[in-house]
Structure 1
Amino acid sequence: MPDIFDKHLPSLARDMTGEGPRPFYRAMASGDGEALVEGVRVVMTACNDYLGLSGDPRVTAAAAKALDLYGASCSGSRLVCGTLPEHEELESRLAAFLGCDEAIVTTTGFQANLALTPLFGAADLVFSDMANHASLVDAIRLGAAGKRLYRHSDMEHLAAELSQADPGAGKAIVTDGLFSMEGDLCRLPELHALARRHGARLIVDGAHDIGLLGAGGRGVAEHFGLPEAVDLRTGTLSKCFGSIGGVLAGPADVIGYLRYTARPVIFSASMPPAALAAALAALEIIQAEPERRTRAFELAALLNEGLRELGFDTGESATPIVPVHIGDAGLCGRMWQEVLDEGVFTHAVVAPAVPHGQALIRLSLQATHTEEHLDRILDAFAAAGRRLGMIPGPAHAPGGAGASSGRTRTGTQAGAVAPRPSIGAQRGALGKQEVSVR
């Protein structure tokens, strides 16, 4: 008789839980652009704390005060006994910040997207970018609507799918604002035009762009100068806001409907007090200190330039998410380990997060990173890439913070490698080039 527990890890997961590279589930403590990973201090480039607010003293003090006042948990759902005055304050301030009628907060960003499910009825069609986050994918699966996938940012493909759709169906186009793996932006002007032409609603997940993009940090709609283009926004408070939680913001009638129909809202314990207070404090800083956004983009431009000069492919990213395209998943795992041995912790991205054969190393920069951190990152990629034959130049022994895996290297190949210019020198070479978070 079959046993429902008789399941096996995918082969890649098995490979990465044995003696080889172990990019996943590593215990660590991080802050200010660095981390302590199993006793070794490294540069942290896998964290999404883009503005460096999770450890900001103003944010942590607010969280500590709320913890003392309310305790660790509300111990109930928003519907019953889990609503604090701070929930209502955060919702009101986020709605005003995003230029929406109303907002509702959820306990996680993933839940914010799952809360969309009641909107996707049996008579509806949802058009989804193939590169959308897993939480959007799951929200559409859980809904009753028909699903139409379009190739990543392929507006011709989307236009064709919309043209062939039942004109009597309710329609929604669902997309990430800033795609989390490759750091590229959705094509909002074209999406807006297609949505209006075909009578579709446009829903944008701003998990990675709210707080980061736009002059005021309001996300892709502000970045493109199209504040009215997005009909419904979702987002997370675990990235730019340095906390935990999710948000949906949009028309009052839609948010009101979801308050009473979205299962992640009415059947889940509410966002805890400390997280609420941290997000409120972070929102004040996001509005008061735009230089944090400018700093993150400036560092990203320098890192992109340095990696491309070394010979790496960083795709079309123009944001603090910088991908290094590898291709083969096994090679990606080895590259991840080699870079860690040089003292830099990165994010190895393999299927299903990206399509098979499109594995990459993902780096995300924080406003708290320094130019010294960037030098260490580039030196690590130069050394690791040469050892693996991914970029030109002779291999040489690791020169970073030490091998976290405990391995040692011998037999360094002979041959001098011209020293890489420091980030300071690169900054001079880039001159007065403007870095905009428009």
Structure 2
Amino acid sequence: MDHLQWMRGELDRLAAAGQARALTESARARREGWIIRNGRSMLNLASNHYLGLHHEVNEDVMSRWNDYADRIRAESGSGAVGSEAGKSGEPGGSPIRTGATASRLIVGGDPILGSFEREFAAYKGTEACLIFGSGYMANIGIISALAGRNDLVFSDKYNHASIVDGAILSRAKVFRYRNRDMNHLEQLLRKADPAKRKLVVTDSVFSMDGSIAPLRELVELKERYGAMLMVDEAHSGGVFGLRGEGLAGELGLTQRIDVHMGTFSKAYGCYGAYASGPALVIDYLINKARSLIYSTALPPMLVYAIRDQWNIIRTEGWRRDALLRKADWLRGELRSAGFDTGDSECHIVPVIVGDNERSLVFGSKLQEAGIAAVPIRPPTVPEGSARIRLTPMATHRDDDLRMALDIIVSIGLELGVI
């Protein structure tokens, strides 16, 4: 194994720099907003399940899935439906299949997948929609399909790693503009060869900062310079908009954005991702997005789960109201106590600590006190800006958040952060 020892050297280097990482296990606790981690009950301030929808599948949910499966099969003329079909052994009898078995371009897709794509496109206010296996797969597939070796990609410096990797895989020339700096972006666009294809990509909500992209200005710039605009709604989907459509929908910019991407693994509390936009764009992605073409489709039972969560999101607006109210309160209290919460303006609230080692100590003390909130360190965030990323949920009890605030303030004083 001597030929692998370079790995040990790199792991030792990461540990010395305070950048080593390890997997942990957790399970949902009985009390809402809590998890069991390392055998202990902890208040969960670390997840992306902003609306509190990461519930366990129960009999009511399964019943809704079965009813919907029966209706879809009846409409599609696919033969026997429901539990009776399962008993009879007829083809396609099981109402919920656990696997898709191959790419949609090989074996086709379960009727629920195409049906949900049409429904979701209408919800987003776009002509068409395409479901991907995950947000990472969506971003690398979309970006590398829309831009190639002779093209230009303009990416916000704080964009998610999946956007960064998608731009690299595209083989296009990549320009990273300063976070939310529209003057810098315009300088880059102005200097660009007008004959080249140009793609501007941004997160709508930056996941480590809780800051919001200037979508109106981005739309104006892309139209002025003839560029395409792709917006990643991963952390704004379900949270913004009258029915949770996302930030672009809330601002009335849907039709002026070329590609909307988002995930079902954050506020939706499930898994998977989507691209939505003009039918021409979606048809192009079906033919060019390699992460779609060469990947097995989402299992039908997972699509049922996504659709069920989506129905809750678009009808239970109280969850969005509660989430943003709780986040506003927490951010205001932290700032009043002297913490640096950066440019946060929504439901993601960072506590910027600075150096890696102190952030690790801060995170360790939080977990000892029963708070699940982990340190975020470079390269995920810029050097010198290690932080504790706090994410309240709509279903957190106010008393629990007050308890967490007291603990955070106490540790902050102890470590000299405030």
Please tell me the TM-score bracket, short chain as reference: 0.7 to 0.9
Distance 1:382 1:229, change over 3 A: same
2:264/2:270 contact within 8 Å kept: yes
Equivalent of 1:114, from 135, 140, 143? 140
Q: Once structures 1 and 2 are overlaid, which stretch shifts more, 222-231 or 158-167? A: 222-231
Residues 277, 16 of structure 1: CA spacing in aligned structure 2 closer, same or farther, 3 A cutoff? farther
Instruction: Say if 2:393 is the partner of 1:366.
Output: yes
Alignment of 1:372-391 (within 5 A): 372-391=399-418
Other-structure match for 2:126 = 100
Residue 55 of structure 2 is matched in structure 1 by: 55
Deviation at 1:123, TM superposition (A): 2.6
Go from structure 1 to structure 2 and tell me whether the alpha carbon gap of 1:54 and 1:64 turns closer, same or farther (over 3 Å shift): farther
Q: Which amino acid aligns with 1:227?
A: T
**CA apart distance, 1:14:** 2.4
Which residue identity lines up with residue 52 of structure 1 in the other structure? G
Distance in 1, Cα, partners of 2:175 & 2:3: 34
Q: Deviation at 1:384?
A: 1.1
1:45 partnered with 2:72: no
3-state DSSP class of the match of 2:353? strand
Distance 1:370 1:12 in 2: 41
Partner of 1:268: 295
Q: Deviations over 1:345-372 (max 9, x none)?
A: 1131111111111111101121111102
Q: Does 1:90 align with 2:98?
A: no
Write the distance in 1 (CA, Å) between the matches of 2:118 and 2:54: 22
- Aligned AA (1:44): N
Q: Identify the match of residue 324 of structure 1 among 327, 345, 351.
A: 351
Secondary structure of 1:104's match?
strand
CA distance in 1, matches of 2:56, 2:4: 46
Pair 1:311–1:341, CA change in 2 (3 A): same
**How far apart are 1:254 and its partner, in Å?**
1.3
CA distances 1:114-157 after superposition (whole Å, capped 9, x unpaired): 11111112231110001000111111100032111101111111
- Alpha-carbon deviations, 1:319-360, whole Å to 9, x = none? 111110111011111111111111101131111111111111
Counterpart of 1:435 in structure 2 is none
Return the alpha-carbon distance in structure 2 between the equivalents of residues 127 and 313 of structure 1.
Answer: 29
- Does the C-alpha gap of structure 1 residues 12 and 325 become closer, same or farther in structure 2, counting only changes over 3 Å? farther
> Letter of the aligned partner of 1:186 in structure 2?
A
1:279 to 282, 300, 306: 306
Q: Which amino acid aligns with 1:274?
A: M
Does structure 1 conserve the Cα–Cα contact (< 8 Å) formed by 2:121 and 2:129? Answer: yes
Indicate if the aligned counterparts of 1:125 and 1:146 stay in contact, CA closer than 8 A.
yes
Contact 1:30 1:44 in 2 (8 A): no
- Answer yes or no: is the 8 Å Cα contact 2:146–2:199 preserved in 1: no
SS at match of 1:79: helix
Distance 1:44-1:25 versus aligned 2 partners, 3 A rule: same
Is the CA contact (8 Å cut-off) linking 2:124 and 2:249 kept in structure 1? no
Look up the equivalent residue of 2:98 and give its one-letter code.
Answer: A
- Partner-residue secondary structure (3-state), 2:208: coil
How far apart in 2 are the matches of 1:327 and 1:153? 22
Deviation sequence 1:300-320 (CA, Å, 0-9, x none): 011111111221111221211
Structure 2 length-normalised TM: 0.87
Give the whole-Å Cα distance in 1 for the aligned partners of 2:54 and 2:101: 24
Note if contact 1:91-1:102 (Cα within 8 Å) is conserved in structure 2.
Answer: yes
Partner of 1:26: 24
- Distance in 2 of aligned mates of 1:294 and 1:355: 31
User: Which amino acid counterpart does residue 76 of structure 1 have in structure 2?
Assistant: A
Compute the displacement of 1:63 (Å).
8.6
Query: Offset at 1:11?
Result: 5.1
**Conserved? CA contact 1:76–1:268, under 8 Å:** yes
Gaps of 5+ in 2: 70-82, 84-93
Moved more, 54-63 or 243-252: 54-63
Letter aligned with residue 302 of structure 1: W
The reply to whether residue 218 of structure 1 matches residue 216 of structure 2 is: no
Q: Match of 1:74? A: 100
* Matched residue, 1:6: 6
Give aligned-pair identity as a percent.
Answer: 35
Say whether 1:304 aligns with 2:331: yes
Structure 1 contact 232–248 (Cα < 8 Å) conserved: yes
Give the equivalent residue in structure 2 for 1:177.
Answer: 204
| CA gap 1:11/1:361 in 2 versus in 1, 3 angstroms | farther
Give the secondary structure class of the aligned counterpart of 2:105: coil
Deviations 1:50-108, CA, capped at 9 Å, x for gaps: 11112076785369757963332112112112511111122111111111111110111
Give distance in 2, aligned partners of 1:305 and 1:264: 42
Q: Distance in 2 between matches of 1:24 and 1:377?
A: 24
- Deviation track 1:273-314 (CA, whole Å, cap 9, x = no partner) reads 222111111111111111110010000011111111221111
The residue matched to 1:69 in structure 2 has which SS?
Answer: coil
Q: CA deviation at 1:187?
A: 0.7
Return the alpha-carbon distance in structure 2 between the equivalents of residues 13 and 30 of structure 1.
31
**2: CA distance, partners of 1:73 / 1:186:** 37
How many angstroms does 1:218 deviate by? 1.2
| Counterpart residue number, 1:430 | none
For the residues of structure 2 that align with 1:364 and 1:124, how far apart are their CA atoms? Answer: 37
One-letter amino acid of the structure 2 residue matched with residue 34 of structure 1 = W
Gaps of 5+ in 1: 392-438
Structure showing the higher helix proportion among its residues: 2
Deviation, structure 1 residue 229: 2.9
CA RMSD in angstroms comes to: 2.3
Q: CA deviation at 1:227?
A: 2.7
Change (3 A) 1:152 1:211: same
**Is the CA contact 1:126–1:174 (under 8 Å) kept in the aligned structure 2?**
yes
Paired letter, 2:28: S
Distance in 1 of aligned mates of 2:205 and 2:159: 10
In structure 2, how many angstroms separate the alpha carbons of the residues matched to 1:238 and 1:12? Answer: 32
Aligned to 1:237: 264
* SS of 1:103 mapped into structure 2: strand
The answer to whether the 8 Å contact 1:104/1:247 transfers is yes
